[in-house]
Chains A and B, each alone.
Chain A
Amino acid sequence: MPPEIESHRSIEYQRVNRGPQQDFTVAKSLTEEGFEVSGLCPECKGKTSTPWPFGIAGAKGLFKKNEEPHPSGPRTVGCECGYAHANRPDGLWIVGCGAYWTVELPQ
């Protein structure tokens, strides 16, 4: 994949569904168990990177089976370019332009 050149657009914050995206890298995380999604936001063109770790939210009952999870299929990711976008609501955890899209998890 060629190196991504960022040319960020300072657009207003808007919740936009950009559908499935192919130009994103979904790789196994180097720092923790899980994946890392990175690429250029299709809306504001800012560099965005989202970690998807395996988290403690999970619980499989009292006698849980020790199965390794194999998640697959499309997953939604939001723009986390980190730039200030006008009209962004306060208190959001995801700092971006409001665009979101789906990427395929690697098999």
Chain B
Amino acid sequence: MNTDVLRWLEKAKQLRFEQLEIARKQAESWRTGLTGITTLLAAVLVVKGRESVSELAQPYKWVVPLLLALALGALVWATLTAVSAASGSPSRKTLLTPEDLRDWTAGEVRRIEAAVVRARRLTVGGVALVAVAVGMTWLAPAATPPAALVVVESAAGRMCGTLVDTSGGSLLLKVREDQQVIPLAGVSRIRGVTTCPR
């Protein structure tokens, strides 16, 4: 006599009367897991080196936020996967017969094994990404300040461009792609501007 089927019979019958308790327990686990996700967001954004990534040079200025976003995604996925493995996702697709319950149990065991491995890899990957992002904010070069844009009024007229250098009694001004040499003796006024006047 196969007593397994009798145990599954009993189990299926018992489950029928424990639906509300199962649903409540799943809801509690998911509530805890989802609360953890919101704290993840704060944790990933707080753990960073410099106060602002905007001070970093290109391409680090964009790579660091990208790495942090990927890390957050991996950690959120890991949390959801772990919660799903721990409590299951609410579903009403299983017929409560001994055979369906037995097959579902076997499938669920396989799914949990795979989910735990996936959650572990995602967590390690997420933490590694955060570490790389923080390391970049510490070690990456800072962005160089933009060159000064000036309007130079001299005997030769008025010119606007980027101040490159002053040497040998001349002023070197970069106007678009050309470099202009202006004798300092003829300069009457130099003033800084944010954009060149038309």
Binding site for B on A (CB under 8 A): 15, 17, 33-35, 51-62, 64, 67, 69, 71, 73-78, 92-94, 100
In the bound assembly, the distance between CA atoms of A55 and B94 in angstroms comes to 5
In the bound assembly, the distance between CA atoms of A5 and B163 in angstroms comes to 107
**Number of A-B residue pairs having CB atoms within 8 Å of each other in the complex:** 103
In the complex, residue of chain B having the shortest beta-carbon distance to the beta carbon of A75: B97
Contacts of B97 in A (CB 8 A): 52, 71, 75-77
Q: A56-B26, A62-B89, A75-B100 are in contact. Are A100 and B94 (CB under 8 A)?
A: no
Say if the beta carbon of B99 comes within 8 Å of chain A: yes
Which of chain B's residues 80-125 have a Cβ closer than 8 Å to chain A? 80-81, 84, 88-101, 104, 108, 111, 115
Contact of A62 among B23, B84, B94, B98 (CB under 8 A): B84
Contacts of B115 in A (CB 8 A): 61-62
Report A69 CB to chain B, min CB distance, Å: 5
Known: A56-B92, A78-B6. 18 other contacts (CB 8 A): A15-B3, A33-B92, A35-B95, A54-B92, A54-B94, A55-B92, A57-B22, A57-B101, A58-B93, A58-B104, A61-B84, A67-B93, A73-B99, A76-B5, A76-B8, A76-B99, A92-B10, A93-B17
Say if the beta carbon of B13 comes within 8 Å of chain A: yes
Q: A57-B22, A69-B95 are in contact. Are A62 and B81 (CB under 8 A)?
A: yes
